[in-house]
Amino acid sequence: MRYLHLSTLFPRLVALLAVIFLVSCASLSSVADTSSIPGAQSNTSMANLPRLNGDATVVITVNDRPITIQVNGAAAPITAGNFVDLVNRGVYDGTVFHRVVREPQPFVVQGGDPQSTDPTVSPQLYGTGSFIDPKTNRPRYIPLEILGKGSSTPTYSQAGKVSPQLNHTRGAVAMARSQLPDSASAQFYIALQQLDFLDGNYAVFGYVTEGMDVVDSIQMGDRIQSAKVVAGLEHLQQP
C-alpha cells in the first residue's frame, strides 16, 4: 500500500485502516473474514462470476431516504457485476451499516454483511460474513479489480500496483475485503471524504450521485431498507 508521510499520518492511518482491514478478533473486524476459509485465496474463476457490461443505477433506501449510486461496469465489470447481481437478488435488503467512522475525521460508512439480517447472529459478528452462493453453497469471492490510468483492461489481484481510473473521492463506493486481495464478497463502503491512500488497494466501482446527505446521516446500526436496480439491469451478464 502507498502511504503518505508517516510522520504526520501514521496515527490516523492506523485508526482508519483498522476499519477496512481484517484483524483476527471478530469483534474488531469490519470486512468479510475469509482468512480461515479454504478457497478464499484461489478465488472463483472469473468466468463463473457475473459481469456488468455497461453502467447501472442502484437506489438504496436508508431511513426512508434514497441514495443513488451510479455503478461503472466499463471500469470494473466483475466488481460492478457482483454488486448489481447482489442488489438484484435482494441480498442487501435489511443489512446493517456496522461500521461508521467520522472521528477523528470523516472516513467511511460500511455495510452489506448478509449475515446481519439473521437475528440469531450476534452484532459482534457483523462484518465477518460473505455472500453464500446458493448454487454452490459456498462463499462467492471476487478478485481485486483495478483499471489503471491509460489502460483498457483491469489489473487483477494486485494491490497497489497501478494508479486507478476510479479514485476514492467523496462518495466513492468500493468493496471491503480482508488483507487477501481476492477476498471481497458482499460488504461495501462509501467514502465520506477523499481517501487517496486507499487508491489502487481497494476496488472502487461507482459513486453516489444523489443522497450524499443521507450517507452523511447514517449511524452505526442503521439498516438498508431496500436496494433496487433502477436502470441498466440489462447490462448484467450472468455466467
Residue 29 has pLDDT above 50, yes or no: no
The domain ranges of the chain are 6-237
User: Tens digit of pLDDT for each residue in 134-182?
Assistant: 999 999 999 999 999 999 999 999 999 999 999 999 999 999 999 999 9
| pLDDT at res. 44 | 54
* Distance between CA atoms of residues 110 and 122, nearest Å: 17
pLDDT band (50, 70, 90) for residue 45: confident
From 206, 230, 236, 203, select the one nearest 66 (Cα to Cα). Answer: 230
What percentage of the chain reaches a pLDDT higher than 90? 80
Q: Lowest-pLDDT range, 15-24, 109-118, 227-236?
A: 15-24
Q: State pTM to two decimals.
A: 0.84
| pLDDT at res. 227 | 98
Residue 194 has pLDDT above 80, yes or no: yes
- HEC assignment per residue over the chain: CCCCCHHHHHHHHHHHHHHHCCCCCCCCCCCCCCCCCCCCCCCCCHHHCCEECCEEEEEEEECCEEEEEEEECCCCHHHHHHHHHHHHHCCCCCCEEEEEECCCCCCEEEECCHHHHCCCCCHHHCCCCCCEECCCCEECCECCEECECCCCCCEECCCCCCCECCCCCCCEEEECCCCCCCCECCCEEEECCCCHHHECCECEEEEEEECHHHHHHCCCCCEEEEEEEEECHHHEECC
224-231 and 55-62 beta bridge pairing: antiparallel
User: Tens digit of pLDDT for each residue in 69-104?
Assistant: 999 999 999 999 999 999 999 999 999 999 999 999
Q: What is the mean pLDDT of residues 7-32?
A: 39
Q: Lowest-pLDDT range, 16-30, 44-58, 162-176, 190-204?
A: 16-30
CATH dotted code for 6-237 = 2.40.100.10
* Distance between CA atoms of residues 112 and 97, nearest Å: 7
- The type of residue at 225 is Q
Q: What cell numbers appear for 30 in the block? A: 469490519
